[in-house]
Structure 1
Amino acid sequence: MQLLRKIAFPFSLLYAIVVYLRNLCYDTGLFNSKTFDTPTVCIGNLSTGGSGKTPMIEWVLKHLNQNKSIAVLSRGYKRQSQGFLFVNPDMSPEAAGDEPLQIATKFPNTVVAVDPNRQSGIKILEEQVIPDLILLDDAYQHRKVKATFYVLLTAYSQLYTRDWYLPTGNLRDHKNQAKRANVIIVTKCPAQLSEEEQNEVIRSLAPQPEQQVLFCTLAYKEKVIGVNETLSLESLKTREVILVTAIANPEPLLQYLRSKGIRYDHRKFPDHHYFTEKEKSEFNKAPVILTTEKDFTRMGGKVDNAYYLGVEHRFLNDGKEKFIGQLNSL
C-alpha cells in the first residue's frame, strides 16, 4: 500500500492543484457561497477521516446551552436513501447513514437530518424546524454554504501540516484552508500532553492571530454496552474477544485496549463498511464481539454477542470553557 501511494505522487500533485483552484474560486467570489439567517457551526477536517468528528458533534450537543434548539445536518455518507431525510432511531443504518443514526439514537430530542445538498437541507430545517443553531457535520469542504463558525479538527498523530494530498497522503482539502477556521482542535492527544509539547504543535500549525488552538484527548468508558446487557471492561480480560473495527483510524482504540490488558483478535474493515448478513452470522459464532459505537450501529442489533466501548472527547487545560463560551455566543 505504501509503495502504491508513493507511485501515485504525481496524481497527488494534480489533486492538490485542483482543490487549490476550486477553493480560490470561492475565496475570490468567482463561485458563490450562501449564508443563512440561522447560525451554523461547521465541524470538519482537511483529511479523509479519523479526527473524531462524530464524537465532537455529540460533545457539543451534550455541553451546549440546553435552552438552545439545535439541529444536526449531515450528508449521511454511504446511505442508500436519496435527498433530504429526517433521521429517527427506528431507521436502519443503511437508510439513515451510520453516524446520523448514532446521533439520533443518543439524542432523541435533537432534530437530525441528512441531505447531500447542504443549502437545500438548511433551508428545509429553517422552514420546518426553525432551530436556534444548526451543526453541519463534516461540511468543511462544502463551500456552497458559508458557515457562521468553523471548527477544524486535526488528529495529534496526523496533523494536517505534516500530511500530504490524496492519494499519496490523506488530505482531501488544501492546507491553506485552515485559515477559515475560527478554532482548531487537536484531537486524540496523549492525556498528559505537556505545555511544551502543546506549544510545539501550535508552532507546527502556525495559526492566524485570531485563531484559537485547543487540545483534547479521548476518554474511553469503563463499561461496554451490548444488545442485552452491560459488562465491565475489566471482565473482558478473561474472555476470548474478537475486535471488529470499520473506522478510519482504530490505533488509539488498540492502544487503549492493550493498556488495559485486553487481548483480542482484530478484524479490520474499511471505514463505514456495512456488514453483510454472512459477516454478522460469523460474528454471532464468536464468544464476544467488541467494537466501536459506530460499528455497533451498523450491526443493526443483529449480533447478539456484540458490545461497544463508548468514547468521548475530553479537553485539556481550560479548553472546554473556551470552546463552550465561543459556541454559546453565537
Structure 2
Amino acid sequence: MFMNENRIVEKICEFPTKLGEISESIFGGISTKNGLLHRLSVPEGSESDSLYLCEGLCKPVILEPELIYPYVSGPFSQKFAFNSSTYRFMLPYEMSGKNKKEFKIIPPEELKSRFPMTYGRILEFKSQFSHDNSPLDSADYYSVRGRKLLEYLNTPKIIVTEGYHLQAAYDTSGNYIFEDGCGIVLKDPEKYPYVTAVLNSRISRLFPSVCGHGMMYSSSATPALMKRFPIVFPEDRLTEDLISNISGYLMFLNQQKYAAGYNTANWLNELESFYEYISDLLVVDTYLGDGIDPRLLDTLEENIHPYAGDMNSDNDESLLSVLYYIKQRILESSNFKKYEFDTEFSGILSFL
C-alpha cells in the first residue's frame, strides 16, 4: 500500500540513531556586532591576494591576507562541495600557541603593529559608521561570537544551510566562515561523503515535517534540530560505498558546473542530474526499503568504483569522460529505463 506523507514521516521518526550521536560536534555560525566591517569580496579579475572590496565602506581596500577567510554568503550555498567564490570574511583572530584548536582575538596594539592595514580599516570604519574618532582601545569592536566555529576552524566539516530546503556542502579545508546554518564535525571522517549525500537527498526535504511531528518548530538548520536528524546507514556496506562514491562524483560535478558558469553544457547538467537521481534512489531505499530492482543494484556495483571518486586529479576532462562513460555503461548494461520499481517505492520517490 502506498505510504502517504504522514506515514513516511512517522517511519523516519522511528529510526533510533540521530545525527548528533555520530557527530563530534554540531554548532552554529559566527555572529558579529558589525557585519559590514567583516564582510568583503574579491574584485572581478583581481589576481592580488591583498586587494578586496569593503562591503561597508564601498571601496577597495588592501588588507593582510592572513586574516581573511572564505565566506558562505546567505542561505543558498552550493550542494555537495564549496566552490571558489568572491566572498570573504575578515577575522582578526589567530591560533593560540598552547592549543591549536583555540583561536584568540588579536588585541588592538598587536593588531596595529603586526597588521597595520587591517587596523587602519577598522579605525576608518569606526569613524564613518559609529562617528567615533577615539583610539581603538578595545578588541570588543571587532570581536565575533561563535566559539565552536572558531574551535573547529581548519577542521573538515559539513556546512548545512536552509534555502527552499536543506543544502549540505563538505568543506574539505575546514576554513569557511558562515553565519547562517550549522557546521557538522563527524566522529568518523570516512562518513562525510555518505552523510553529505543524505542531507542533500529527498529524504532531507521531509525534515521540517519530522521536526513538526516532534513538536519542534523553528528553522531546520539549527544545531539543536540537526542533532535530531534521523540517520540510517545501509545494512549492506556495498550500498554505503556506492552512495559515498556517487557523493564524490557530485562534489566534482558541482565544481565543474560552477566553473562553467552560464556556459554550462546541457550534457554536464544531465550528467549531474543522473548521478543525483541514482544517489536519491539509494538513499530513499536505505530509509524506506526494498524498492530498487536487484539487477540495477548489481549493475551499479559493477560500474561505480572508488577510483573514479578520486576528484583530486588535475585532469578534469579525463574525469568527466570517466563519469560520462560510467553513466553510459549503467544505461546500456541495465536497460535502465525498462526497469520497474515497485509501485510503493516509485510513488514515494515521485512524492518526495
Q: TM-score range by the shorter chain?
A: under 0.3
User: Normalising by the residue count of structure 2, what TM-score does the alignment of the two structures yield?
Assistant: 0.22
Q: Higher strand share goes to which structure?
A: 1
Q: Higher helix share goes to which structure?
A: 2
* Structure label with greater radius of gyration: 2
